[in-house]
Structure 1
Amino acid sequence: MRTNLSKHDTAAPVIAGLVVAAVTLWLRHGLLEAGLLPRDCSLAGAPAAACAFKTVLVQSFLDQRLGWASLIAGVLGFVLSCRRLAWAGWLAGVAGLVLYSYDPAAIGALLALLVLVGTHGEHGQGEREPGEQPADGLRVGRLG
């Protein structure tokens, strides 16, 4: 049995998630934890742009803000079946998983991912051909 990634449009969310994870890992380990950003931005000679970037980056994961944003977007995207909110929930969730917001980011990302890879189009939203049985798409033979 072969898996068809293009059938449910899973390639785009997977690739986008990998890109966001790579960028977020680089920000966390390559800049923040490696000490490339200024340690003390209260000093007179500290570069303003680097300090502003560091402040925004650190504030994004304090109090799990990034994870809560993912959870809100993921829940709204799931409830409203809105792909734009689902994309926001998915990408914020991936970043939140890397940046210390595990619990809310994981739930938000998974709910968003259900919307992004859910079936839509020809057999989405419970639409079937007249006379078609639920098991017909599974290639299960009739019993008896």
Structure 2
Amino acid sequence: MRTNLSKYGVAGPVVAGVIVAAIALWLRHGLLEAGLLPRDCTLADAPAAACAFKTALVQSFLDQRLGWVSLVAGGLAFMLSCHRLAWAGWLTGVAGLVLYSYDPAAIGTLLALLVLVRAHDEDGQGKREPGEQPADRLRVGGLG
């Protein structure tokens, strides 16, 4: 059985997610944990640009900030069906999963992904009739 990811609108988010995950992994393991950034930025001879970058990177995941941004963006995208908020929730969530913010980022990422995949179906790719409800395709009758 062959899966066609582009048919279901999953290819774009998956490719973007893999790219963001690769960048986040490189930032985490290639720069931060490998010791390529200055360890002590309070020294007078510490490079200012590298210290500013390290401070911004650490502040992004301190107190799970990336995860909370993903959760808020994904939750709002789910409630409002906003495609742009869904992309923000998805990409910050993937980065948050790699950069130590996995608790809230996991929920925000899933909510955002639901909107991204669903939005593709509503753009004319699915076979929905006007006014049709999601349960109508299940062919489930009433309980009474």
The alignment status of 1:134 with 2:121, answered yes or no, reads no
The SS at the match of 1:122 is helix
Report the structure, 1 or 2, having the larger helix content: 2
State the alpha-carbon separation in 2 of the partners of residues 86 and 129 from structure 1.
24
TM-score, normalised via structure 2 length = 0.86
RMSD: 2.1
State the alpha-carbon separation in 2 of the partners of residues 58 and 96 from structure 1.
12
Residue correspondences, number? 134
CA apart distance, 1:135: 4.6
CA apart distance, 1:123: 6.8
Provide the residue aligned with 1:106 in structure 2: 106
Q: 1:120 aligns with which of 110, 119, 122?
A: 122
CA apart distance, 1:90: 0.1
The structure-2 alpha-carbon separation of the partners of 1:47 and 1:120, relative to structure 1 and needing over 3 Å to count, comes to: same
Provide the residue aligned with 2:38 in structure 1: 38
In structure 2, the gaps of 5 or more residues are 140-144
Identity rate of aligned residues, in percent?
73
State the alpha-carbon separation in 1 of the partners of residues 125 and 47 from structure 2.
56
The alignment status of 1:24 with 2:24, answered yes or no, reads yes
The SS at the match of 2:123 is coil
Moved over 3 A (4+): none
CA apart distance, 1:42: 0.3
The alignment status of 1:76 with 2:79, answered yes or no, reads no
TM-score, normalised via structure 1 length = 0.86
